[in-house]
Structure formats: C-alpha cells, structure tokens
A and B are shown apart, each in its own frame.
Chain A
Amino acid sequence: MTPDMKTADTIDRYLLRFRLALAGAKDKEELVSEIRSHIVERLEDHSRPVDEIVHDTLSALGTPEILATRYRTEGLLERASTTMSPLLLLRATMRWAMTGIRGFFAFWVLFLGYFMAAGFYVSAALKPFFADRLGFWVGDHGFGIMLRPSGGGDTEILGMWFAPVTLALGCLCIIGTTKFVRWLISKRRRTNSTTATA
C-alpha cells in the first residue's frame, strides 16, 4: 500500500531523527534500512487505513531517540560484558544508569570500586614523600590505613611493605569491581535487558 504525502513525510521524518540519534554508530545505515523495511512491510497490511498502520508501527518502535538508545545500550553492554577496560565499563554503566535502578547501582559500585583503587595507588605513590605519616596504623584507636591518626601511640606495621600491599589492594579493587560489574551486566543481559510486553 502506498502512503499519501503526509504519511510518507511522517515516515521520512521518523527515519531522519533515527539516523541523527544513531550518529557515530558503526552500522547506522544498515539499522535505518532495516527499520524502513519493517515499516514498509507493515504497510502491506491492506485491512486498515495507512495512517493508522503508520501510527501504530511508529508507536511500537518507540521514539527514534529511544529506539537508538536501545540499540546503543544493547551494543555497549555487550562489549562491556567481556571487557577489562575501565573506561568502556564506565561508559556502559553510565548509559545503563539512565535506564533504571540496577544500572544506577552498577554505576556507583564501579565508581566507588575504582575510587578506592585510585586511593590505594595514590597512597603507594606518596609513601616515599610522607614516610612518617602514611602507613597501616594499629593502636588504641583500632587500626587504619593511610594517614597517621592524631594523638600518637599508634604503630605502623607494614613498613617497607606498605607500597606493595597498597598496590596489590588497588589491583584487587580494580579486578574485583570489574568482575562484579561484568557479572551484573551479564545477569542483566540474561534476564532483564530484553523487554517483552505481556
């Protein structure tokens, strides 16, 4: 069925917005062609008015921006689920965070994990410059890593091992956080990334 000028214009505008929303995507033209093909396919239903079919089809696809976000999120999370790149994981979880509470949780876990790792690395790097103040202190106040507690009476127990230990802890933070967030992403892909309407 051939759409009239107004309906054809609606379809063209939808596809144009979709193309713009996909800016930078590798398979942009292929994705646009597939959505165009889908709309044309729907128009072959001769039992209903064309404008009604187009309205229903575009509604089922969602706005062009939301549709593009779904493509991007699926693709990004797919790559992130197997990567060890902190930047890619941060990008993926940031995008995921915009779509729901689980993504928000994953983003903050990642952020805090990497923040702690950065803290360990920085303290290892600063140890030679603040040898008397940085350490693993045990004393009346309990124990603590990093700056010497005020009041004195605490003993530093790691000595020259402080830098290697904090570097190892930083690595553990990075690896643990990365693996945990990758597991969250894989879990999402298995159960919640797909959205069926009942």
Chain B
Amino acid sequence: MAIPQPAPAPDNWSAQLRKGSLDLAILASLWKKPLYGLEVLRSLEDGSDLTVAEGTLYPILNRLRVEGLLESEWVDSGTGHPRKYYKLTDAGRRRVKEMSRAWAEFSDKLNGILKSIGLKG
C-alpha cells in the first residue's frame, strides 16, 4: 500500500521555485549593462524577491562565464580597488531570450489553469 506523502510546505515550494529561476534572474539582471558581483546581488534583491547568498552567487557567475554565457573584465572603480564586471556574451543574450520565452510560455499556461481559482490581490 502506498504511504501517503505529506504535501510540501509552501515555503519549501517557494524556495525551490526561486532556485530554479536563479540562472535566468542573474543573466537577465545583466541585460542592460555590465555589473559587478555586488551590483548583481543588489539588482536581484531590488528587482525581484530573490535574496542570494554571496557564497552562492560568485560560483554561479563563474560557471556562467565558463559556459560562455558571460564574459568578465576588471575595471578600476576609481575608489582605489578594481571591480570585476560581468557582461552577457552573444550566446548569453540568446540564452536569456530562450529562457525568457520558455518562462513566459510556461507562466501563461499555468495562469490559464490558475484562472479558475480566481485569486485577486
């Protein structure tokens, strides 16, 4: 007999959803202009509900760079220390568009189902 599994707590589900969208959020935050690590962090905090630990962000930025989606450059900040700026490569821009399209399609379909719930506000 199958053992009934407890439903995942909404908080846990919400955290999983954030995890899954983090690559897209990081890449999208670099769409308009190059940013350095701390700016990416702040952009995610300000522009979305994503709070990312520094120890998580930098390895991801490095991986995206190795994947060829980002390129980096050290720039003298004028404050006495250089900053490492990240910018999207052409491949990175294409990937953001693909991911955004997939996200929008998925979101539209899900919203269609959720309409019946009729939640507002």
Contacts and interface: CB of A to CB of B under 8 A. Distances in A.
Interface of A: 27, 31, 33-35, 37-38, 40-42, 44, 57, 60-62, 66-67, 70-71, 73-75, 78, 190-198
A44 B79 contact: yes
B83 A41 contact: yes
B58 A35 contact: yes
B62 A31 contact: yes
Contact of A195 (B11, B19, B36, B79): B19
Interface of B: 11, 14-16, 18-20, 22-23, 36-38, 50-56, 58-60, 62-63, 66-67, 74, 79, 81-84
B54 A37 contact: no
A198 B14 contact: yes
Given A34-B37, A38-B37, A78 B67 contact: yes
Nearest to A39: B54
Contact of A62 (B11, B22, B55): B55
Contacts of A73: 59
Given A34-B37, A35-B58, A75-B63, A194 B83 contact: no
Main secondary structure of the interface of A (DSSP, over half): helix
B62 to A, nearest CB: 6
Contacts of B63: 74-75, 78, 193
Contacts of A67: 55, 58-59
Contacts, number: 96
Contact of B22 (A37, A41, A57, A194): A194
A198 B23 contact: no
Contacts of A35: 58
Q: Give the 8 A-B CB pairs with smallest separation, nearest first.
A: A62-B55, A194-B22, A74-B63, A70-B59, A61-B55, A198-B15, A60-B54, A196-B18
A140 to B, nearest CB: 36
Contacts of A70: 55-56, 59
Contacts of A60: 53-55
